[in-house]
């Protein structure tokens, strides 16, 4: 019996220690499987706090398996710090973590409970180690997201200027101020795009996919930068359908028995930056690219609403980009959608 218990203890010791980390803007709530030094800890989400977390994890001894949620820039730095320290890290989609918590019948939502849930995820679910993107890819994504933020600010100011000019009661100085702000924002967009294109020009691994994206009629320099920044951080083995799900462009049905059956809608459970980056290229390609237009016309003939057609084009464009990257080719309209003329020939 003692030999059996000894073997069980050795087997348990060989198992990686599961650790869950709930990431917020200011704090890291950590929960580990039963350790002598304590099962939970809280650390500042700062470089100094990351170093303290690494010291705390070293007390676990043996191998450690860490799971944390993907929370944008707040989770990226801590994931990089842990990966650099030699720890295996899995960055999970928040939706997957939420569904796992529901399966555990969690009724309380606190940082400590979230960390404990992620710890159980690390212990029970298949572990897929996270690989950090290259520094130039992270730099490009940061620039791309900043471009998108400034463009959104400029659009808001343009709408504001239109409203101000719609009435004669607006002081001229206010109109001039808003117009000047729009010009300043446009200059900032140009500067940021130049910085992003400089990063692309100095890294051959970025130049080819950028050229492939620009081969799509409707993808301009800004859209290509934004798409590149979001797509190149994804794991290389992801399939086209997984890209669509990551972007939240996968269809979602709800059906129960014979009484509940809703119209399919996109899930929107994914990367909103990627969806936004696809919107304008799909809109322009719908008008100016013959094969994309033919695909949209076919959907319209089946009584699909304009927005449904646009979303379908966004999803199909994403599939096309996936194929282009995998085969190292530029955009080919007939592969996107065969037109009646091509079929006749």
Bigger pLDDT: 261 vs 49 = 49
Per-range mean pLDDT, top range of 61-75, 112-126, 175-189: 175-189
Reported residue count of the chain is 345
In this predicted structure, what is the pLDDT of residue 193?
96
pLDDT confidence of 104, banded at 50, 70, 90?
confident
Domain boundaries along the sequence of the chain:
2-124, 135-236+246-253+264-344
Does domain 2-124 match CATH 3.30.420.40? Answer: yes
pTM: 0.74
Is the sign of the CA dihedral 267, 268, 274, 275 positive or negative? positive
Rounded to the nearest 10 degrees, the angle between the axes of helix 221-231 and helix 172-201 is 60
State percent of the chain over pLDDT 70.
Answer: 86
- Are 108 and 116 within 8 A, CB to CB? no
Per DSSP, the three-state class of 104 is coil
d(CA 178, CA 260): 50
């Amino acid at each position: 019996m003692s030999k059996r218990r000894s073997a069980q203890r050795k087997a348990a010791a060989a198992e990686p220690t599961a650790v869950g980390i709930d990431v917020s803007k200011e704090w890291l709530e950590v929960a580990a499987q039963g350790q002598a030094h304590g099962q939970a800890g809280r650390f500042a989400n700062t470089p100094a706090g990351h170093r303290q977390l690494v010291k705390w994890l070293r007390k676990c001894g043996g191998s450690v398996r860490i799971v944390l949620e993907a929370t944008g820039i707040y989770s990226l730095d801590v994931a990089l710090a842990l990966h650099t320290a030699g720890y295996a890290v899995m960055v999970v989609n928040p939706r997957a973590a939420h569904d796992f918590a529901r399966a555990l019948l969690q009724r309380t939502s606190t940082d400590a409970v979230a960390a404990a849930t992620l710890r159980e995820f690390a212990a029970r679910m298949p572990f897929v180690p996270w690989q950090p993107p290259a520094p130039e890819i992270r730099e490009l994504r940061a620039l791309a997201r900043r471009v998108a933020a400034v463009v959104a600010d400029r659009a808001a100011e343009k709408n504001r200027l239109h409203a101000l000019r719609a009435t004669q009661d607006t002081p001229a100085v206010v109109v001039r101020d808003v117009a000047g702000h729009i010009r300043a924002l446009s200059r900032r967009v140009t500067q940021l795009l130049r910085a992003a294109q400089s990063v692309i020009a100095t890294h051959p691994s970025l130049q080819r996919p950028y050229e492939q994206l620009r081969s799509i009629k409707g993808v301009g320099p800004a859209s290509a930068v934004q798409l590149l920044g979001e797509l190149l951080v994804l794991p290389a083995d992801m399939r086209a359908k997984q890209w669509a799900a990551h972007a939240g462009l996968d269809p979602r049905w709800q059906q129960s028995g014979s009484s509940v059956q809703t119209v399919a809608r996109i899930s929107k459970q994914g990367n909103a930056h990627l969806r936004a980056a696809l919107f304008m290229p799909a809109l322009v390609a719908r008008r100016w690219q013959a094969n994309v237009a033919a695909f949209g016309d076919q959907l319209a003939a089946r009584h699909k609403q304009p927005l449904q057609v646009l979303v379908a084009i966004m999803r199909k464009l994403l599939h096309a980009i996936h194929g282009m990257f995998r085969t190292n080719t530029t955009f080919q309209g007939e592969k996107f959608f065969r037109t009646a003329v091509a079929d006749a020939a």
